[in-house]
């Protein structure tokens, strides 16, 4: 069975500090990993996906198959980064359904 | 097209009543998903449609739940004889499968159900 673990429920940093949101997964095949973000009073939206190897809003995430991790990082946090972040895994096959972690609430203090 | 829409946004019902939610996906999207999210948890998969065909249902979807997508466009999720444990946010997402991987899912705002 596939599982996504986000060990931190809450993460608080100061503006300008580096931030890392942890995500570990368990899946026997080759997963596709995503980070979704939900800002206050907004819908869940895709932030980035590992296959694209892109940087969005200064965030990056590297898939580490050896450690089964997909941590989200940003070198200098901004107040507008405050949001709930969900790591998600798609097992592929033909259903592409997502398995989500429980989420990490990031607060960036001024 | 303003994205995935869901109706109603909030629903309060008494235990034992039936409720129905509607989801309108992005118009050209052929794939539609339903998820449920309870407090402190991430969304959990319930079921999905490819066009009008319901291809998979989670074990979370008891016999009291039924979903349809009659013309391959909007979808409805009905809960019969609601229980307090059904209280949750019900999320709908759509995607266009057939183009380049990975297939991004676009989420609606959700329907918050409260069963009293």
Confidence of residue B76 (pLDDT cuts 50, 70, 90): very high
At B5, the pLDDT band (50, 70, 90 cuts) reads very high
* C-alpha to C-alpha distance for B13 and B84, rounded to whole angstroms: 10
**In terms of Cα–Cα distance, which of A96, A48, A41 is closest to B93?**
A96
Question: In the predicted model, is pLDDT for residue B85 greater than 60?
Answer: yes
How many CB pairs (< 8 A) connect A and B?
Answer: 57
Mean pLDDT over each residue of chain A, to the nearest integer: 92
CB proximity A28 to B under 8 Å? no
* Stretches in chain A below the pLDDT threshold 50: none
d(CA A31, CA B59): 22
Please tell me the distance from the alpha carbon of residue A49 to that of residue A96, in angstroms, as a whole number. Answer: 14
* Residue-level pLDDT at B111: 98
* Residue B104 CA: distances (Å) to CA of A9, A32, B51, B67: 25, 11, 16, 22
- B10-56 pLDDT, tens per residue? 999 999 999 999 999 999 899 999 999 999 999 999 999 999 999 99
DSSP annotation of A90? E
pLDDT reported for residue B100: 64
Among all residues of chain B, which has the CA nearest to that of A97?
Answer: B45
List of chain A residues whose C-beta atoms are within 8 Å of the C-beta of residue B95: 96
Nearest to A44 among B48, B102, B107 (CB): B107
């Amino acid at each position: 069975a596939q599982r996504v673990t986000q060990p931190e429920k809450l993460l608080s940093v100061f503006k300008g500090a580096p931030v890392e949101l942890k995500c570990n997964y368990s899946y026997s095949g080759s997963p596709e990993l995503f980070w979704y973000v939900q800002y206050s009073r907004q819908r869940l939206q895709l932030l980035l996906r590992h296959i694209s190897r892109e940087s969005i809003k200064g965030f990056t995430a590297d898939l580490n198959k050896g450690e089964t991790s997909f941590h989200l990082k940003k070198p200098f946090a901004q107040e507008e980064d405050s949001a709930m972040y969900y790591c998600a895994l798609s097992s592929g096959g033909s259903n592409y359904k997502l398995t989500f972690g429980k989420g990490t609430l990031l607060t960036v203090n001024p | 097209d303003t994205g995935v829409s869901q109706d109603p946004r909030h629903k309060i019902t008494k235990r034992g009543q039936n409720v129905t939610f509607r989801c309108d996906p992005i118009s050209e999207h052929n794939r539609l998903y339903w998820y449920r999210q309870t407090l402190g948890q991430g969304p959990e998969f319930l079921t999905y449609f490819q066009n009008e065909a319901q291809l998979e249902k989670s074990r979370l979807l008891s016999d009291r739940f039924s979903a349809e997508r009659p013309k391959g466009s909007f979808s409805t999720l009905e809960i019969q004889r609601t229980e307090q444990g059904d209280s949750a946010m019900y999320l709908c997402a759509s995607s266009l499968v057939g183009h380049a991987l990975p297939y991004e899912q676009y989420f609606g705002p959700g329907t918050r159900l409260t069963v009293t």
